[in-house]
Amino acid sequence: RLDKAATVASRDNPATFTENKKLLERKDVDAVFIDTPCDLHVDMAIAALSAGKHVYCEKPVGITPQSIGKLLEAGRKSDKVFCVGQQMRSFAFIKEVIQKVRDGVAGDIVMIKAQRHANYDLDHELSSAEWFFDAKRSGDVIVEMAVHNLDLCNWVVGSRPERAAGFGGNLIFKNDPPGRTNMDGYTLSYDYANGVKLSFTQTFFHPNGLPAGGQYTNVYGTKGAVSLDTGKFYPLAKKSGPPVLLSQPQKEEDAPHITAFYQAIRTGSKPPADLTIGATAALTAIMGREAIYTGKVVTWGDLGVQV
């Protein structure tokens, strides 16, 4: 894979390394991007902070409470910028809609319904990513993938959930690909301190053409509901009128998030998804994962991490 990566990037004539220590020893490197399998994120991020580098770390920041706790400790000791690759935090459309929700367009928020449904061709999509199917390396699909969706819900509510309960597992794609240990479907319920309820599902077996596939996030309030995907507000009334467009959806890209990281380094501003946000999102996903694995209600306190 290193050879393939070097070939792809050869037009920019990059230096290549077989271990991150050699990269971190370079005095001309101010910042590093960590885009490796999830189980490597924490150790690489701590090493980078210890070497005095700014860090852009792909989500999730970690896959266990213990490792995330160590990273948070390292982050508190460092004055370097730490940005997590939860790029929806920089999507202009999403930011505008969420701000209007938090300003009360839908009244008091009472519930969120969100999902991440897909019908992946596993061989085509992830054939070279053996680590993805190994729950001990990826953190399972809820931590590796749904951390984006759960972070979005935390952002809407303005806090993290207090407890989680759920069910799921490897329901259809058993041992496909061989050695697979991560889930292919689950359903979760989260409860926030302010009373907001979150219902979240993720599947890998939503057939193409079946309605209500893909990803969506609907926010329900005392005055109506808002779709974070269409930017529309639907008033709650006996005879509801037409939806109100709060913001025009647009094609979003990752560039603004990365630009914000650079700006934070240059100006000292706060990145849109700092280590606290990233750790909270990852721990939210981990709390749900452990609820599914154990079949019990898992609380935030059970994680044992101070964010």
Q: What is the CATH number of the domain that holds 111?
A: 3.30.360.10
Q: Along the chain (307 residues), what's the average pLDDT of each consecutive run of 10 residues?
A: 70 83 96 96 98 98 98 98 97 96 97 94 60 95 98 98 98 88 97 99 94 95 96 86 88 89 97 98 99 98 97
Indicate if 237 and 113 belong to the same structural domain.
Answer: yes
State residue 205 phi and psi, 5-degree precision: -130, 35
Amino acid 6: pLDDT: 67
Q: Classify residue 296: in a domain, yes or no.
A: no
Give the three-class secondary structure for 119.
Answer: coil
Q: Classify residue 303: in a domain, yes or no.
A: no
Q: Classify residue 301: in a domain, yes or no.
A: no
Q: Classify residue 117: in a domain, yes or no.
A: yes
Q: Classify residue 280: in a domain, yes or no.
A: no
Q: Classify residue 290: in a domain, yes or no.
A: no
Q: Give the whole-angstrom CA distance, residue 44 versus residue 147.
A: 20
> Which residues does 11 contact at the CB level (< 8 Å), separation at least 6?
none
Quick one: tokens of 80?
């370097």
Q: Which of 196, 228, 245 delimits the end of a domain?
A: 245
Indicate if 75 and 192 belong to the same structural domain.
Answer: no
Indicate if 142 and 230 belong to the same structural domain.
Answer: yes
Indicate if 225 and 184 belong to the same structural domain.
Answer: yes
Amino acid 102: pLDDT: 96
50-92: pLDDT as tens digits: 999 999 999 999 999 999 999 999 999 999 999 999 999 999 9
* Long-range contacts at 94-100 (CB < 8 A, ≥ 24 apart): 94/152, 94/228, 94/252, 96/231, 96/246, 96/247, 97/226, 97/228, 97/231, 97/246, 97/247, 98/155, 98/156, 98/228, 100/226, 100/233, 100/246, 100/247
Indicate if 49 and 135 belong to the same structural domain.
Answer: no
Amino acid 127: pLDDT: 54
Which structural domain, as residue segments, surrounds residue 22? Answer: 2-87+254-274
Amino acid 277: pLDDT: 99
Q: Which residue, among 255, 256, 286, 264, has the nearest Cα to 60 in the 3D structure? A: 286
Sign of CA dihedral 71, 184, 162, 277: positive
Amino acid 126: pLDDT: 57
DSSP 40: G
For the entire predicted model, the pTM comes to: 0.94
232-269: pLDDT as tens digits: 999 998 766 789 999 988 887 889 999 999 999 999 99
Amino acid 221: pLDDT: 98
Q: How many domains, the chain? A: 2
Amino acid 253: pLDDT: 82
Indicate if 232 and 93 belong to the same structural domain.
Answer: yes
Q: Classify residue 107: in a domain, yes or no.
A: yes
Indicate if 129 and 45 belong to the same structural domain.
Answer: no
Indicate if 183 and 236 belong to the same structural domain.
Answer: yes
β-sheet bridge partners, residue 298: 164
Q: Classify residue 283: in a domain, yes or no.
A: no
